[in-house]
Amino acid sequence: MPIYISLLRGINVGGHKRIKMELLRTSFEKLGFEQVQTYIQSGNVIFKSAELSPSKLSKRIEETMLSDFGFPVSVVTRTVGEMAETVGNNPFLKERDIDLEKLHVMFLSDAPAAAALKKVAELVAAPDQSRCLGKAIYLYLPNGAAGSNLMKSPLDRLLSVVTTTRNWRTVNAIHQMCQECR
């Protein structure tokens, strides 16, 4: 069975959309997913499922979250191969003097239109940097996410896709968990 990673947006942040990880795992298991694991409290779920497209899985999970918890949750799902590509393709890893603690990845439900990416690029102010590769925007935020004007912007609306962001440490930890699932 293939391994998938679902990234739930905005749960357990600032006291809103609270979901205990045990209940989240139970919801995923009710969908027939196997070997369900969560990583930290921010909605990172690794599981095995019969082969489906990530977008179909996201839709099923979103419907279940609304039914089980009573509020909408946007979900971005990746295959284990896509997650490996995300880790391997980070363009900032090739640059000198990059602080790995300041790297983030914004996962996108779909590749954004070029015009939308141009609008986002106009919002990036030094020292922040961003690079879009397919369905991921790699971010280097030297002053942290809280100190970034880009992260205060309504990027979902500008990009017209669902987005959810994880720091580089979390991305790598999820990737490692996937490798251990095989």
Please identify, in words, the CATH class of the domain defined by 3-82: alpha beta
Rg over alpha carbons for the chain, rounded to the nearest Å, is 16
Residue 14: its pLDDT value, please? 74
Residue 21 has pLDDT above 90, yes or no: yes
Beta bridge partner(s), residue 132: 137
Residues 8, 45 contacting (CB under 8 angstroms): yes
Instruction: State pLDDT tens for residues 152-182.
Output: 888 889 999 999 999 999 999 999 999 988 7
Give the three-class secondary structure for 43: coil
Residue 39 has pLDDT above 90, yes or no: yes
Q: Token digits for 72? A: 């909408």
pTM assigned to the model: 0.95
Q: What is the mean pLDDT of residues 76-99?
A: 96
Distance CA 105, CA 86 (A): 8
Residue 107: its pLDDT value, please? 98
Residues of the chain with CATH 3.30.70.1280: 3-82
Structurally, at CATH architecture level, domain 84-168 sits in 2-Layer Sandwich (3.30)
Residue 163 CB burial class (10 angstroms; 0-12, 13-18, ≥19): buried
Beta bridge partner(s), residue 140: 103, 129
Residue 106 CB burial class (10 angstroms; 0-12, 13-18, ≥19): buried
